[in-house]
Amino acid sequence: MENIKATETKEVKVNYLNNGYSIWSWLFTKDHKRIAIMYLISISIFFLIGGLYAAAIRLELLTPQSDLFETGTYNKIFTHHGIMMVFFFLIPAIPATLGNFMIPIMIGAKDLAFPRINLLSLYLYWLGGIITLWALLQGGVDTGWTFYTPYSTTFSNSYVVAAGLGIFINGFSSILTGLNFIVTIHTMRAPGMTWFRLPLFVWAHYATSLVMILGTPVVAITILLVAVERIARIGIFDPAIGGDPILFQHLFWFYSHPAVYIMILPSMGVISELIANFSRKRIFGYEFIAFSSIAIAVFGFLVWGHHMFVSGQSIYAGLVFSFLTMVVAVPSAIKVFNWTATLYKGQVSYDTPMLYALGFIGLFLIGGLTGLFLGSIGLNVHLTDTYFVVAHFHYVMVGGTVLGYLGGLHYWWPKMTGKMYSEFWGKISAMLVFVGFNLTFFPQFILGYMGMPRRYAAYPPELQVLNIFSTAGASVLGVGLVLPVIYLTLSLIVGKKAPANPWLLPGLEWRTSSPPPTENFEETPVVTWEAYEFSEDNGLDIEKAKRELVTA
Partner 1 sequence: MQQQSYSWVPLFPERASSFAWEVDALYFYLVAISVFFTVLIVATIFYFAIRYREKEKFKSGAEIHGSLLLETTWTAIPFVIAMTIFLGGAIVYYNQYRPPKDAMEIYVVGKQWMWKMQHPTGQREINELHVPVNTKIKLIMTTEDVLHDFYIPAFRTKADVVPGRYTTLWFEATKPGKYHLYCAEYCGLNHSGMGGWIYVMEKEDYERWLAGNVSNQTPAEAGKELFEAKLGCASCHQQNDQGRGPTLVGLFGKEVKLANGQKVIANEEYIRNSILNPQGQIVEGYQPIMPTFKGQVTEEQLVALVAYIKSLGTQPQSNTMTASN
Q: Which of partner 1, Cu ion, none is residue 459 near (CB under 5 to 8 Å by kind)?
A: partner 1
**Rounded (5°) CA angle 319-216-412:** 105
Q: Which of partner 1, Cu ion, none is residue 257 near (CB under 5 to 8 Å by kind)?
A: Cu ion
Least separation in angstroms between residue 136's CB and partner 1 is: 18
Do 206 and 195 touch, CB atoms closer than 8 A? Answer: no
Residues in the site for Cu ion, rule: CB under 5 A? 257
Q: Which of partner 1, Cu ion, none is residue 3 near (CB under 5 to 8 Å by kind)?
A: none
Distance, C-alpha 201 to centroid of its chain: 13
Q: Which of partner 1, Cu ion, none is residue 13 near (CB under 5 to 8 Å by kind)?
A: none
Distance, C-alpha 269 to centroid of its chain: 11
Least separation in angstroms between residue 424's CB and partner 1 is: 18
Q: What is the spatial distance between Cα 392 and Cα 139, in angstroms, rounded to a whole number?
A: 30
Q: 37 or 260, CB closer to Cu ion? A: 260
- Using CB atoms, what's the residue nearest to Cu ion? 257
Helix, coil or strand: residue 181: helix
Q: 29 or 267, CB closer to Cu ion? A: 267
Q: What is the spatial distance between Cα 506 and Cα 197, in angstroms, rounded to a whole number?
A: 12
Least separation in angstroms between residue 305's CB and Cu ion is: 9
Q: Which of Cu ion, partner 1, none is residue 385 near (CB under 5 to 8 Å by kind)?
A: partner 1
Least separation in angstroms between residue 260's CB and Cu ion is: 6
Query: Which DSSP letter does residue 419 get?
Result: B
Q: 320 or 482, CB closer to partner 1? A: 320
Least separation in angstroms between residue 258's CB and Cu ion is: 8
Sign of CA pseudo-dihedral 441, 443, 444, 446:
positive
Q: What is the spatial distance between Cα 253 and Cα 304, in angstroms, rounded to a whole number?
A: 5
Least separation in angstroms between residue 253's CB and partner 1 is: 14
Least separation in angstroms between residue 1's CB and partner 1 is: 16
Q: 99 or 400, CB closer to partner 1? A: 400
Sign of CA pseudo-dihedral 471, 473, 476, 478:
negative
Q: Which of Cu ion, partner 1, none is residue 457 near (CB under 5 to 8 Å by kind)?
A: partner 1
Q: 114 or 148, CB closer to partner 1? A: 148
Q: What is the spatial distance between Cα 290 and Cα 288, in angstroms, rounded to a whole number?
A: 5
Q: 50 or 359, CB closer to partner 1? A: 359
Do 527 and 192 touch, CB atoms closer than 8 A? Answer: yes
Q: How many residues are recorded in the chain?
A: 552
Q: 27 or 327, CB closer to partner 1? A: 327
Least separation in angstroms between residue 240's CB and partner 1 is: 7
Q: Which of Cu ion, partner 1, none is residue 372 near (CB under 5 to 8 Å by kind)?
A: partner 1
Please name which of 398, 390, 292 lies closest in space to residue 338, comparing C-alpha atoms.
292
Least separation in angstroms between residue 432's CB and partner 1 is: 19
Helix, coil or strand: residue 31: coil
Residues 6+ apart with CB under 8 A from 551: none
Q: 189 or 257, CB closer to Cu ion? A: 257
Q: 65 or 524, CB closer to partner 1? A: 65
Please name which of 161, 159, 154, 163 lies closest in space to residue 139, comparing C-alpha atoms.
159
Q: Which of partner 1, Cu ion, none is residue 453 near (CB under 5 to 8 Å by kind)?
A: partner 1
Q: What is the spatial distance between Cα 319 and Cα 378, in angstroms, rounded to a whole number?
A: 10
Q: Which of partner 1, Cu ion, none is residue 545 near (CB under 5 to 8 Å by kind)?
A: partner 1
Inter-helix orientation angle 464-494/403-417, to 10°: 10
Q: What is the spatial distance between Cα 202 and Cα 149, in angstroms, rounded to a whole number?
A: 38
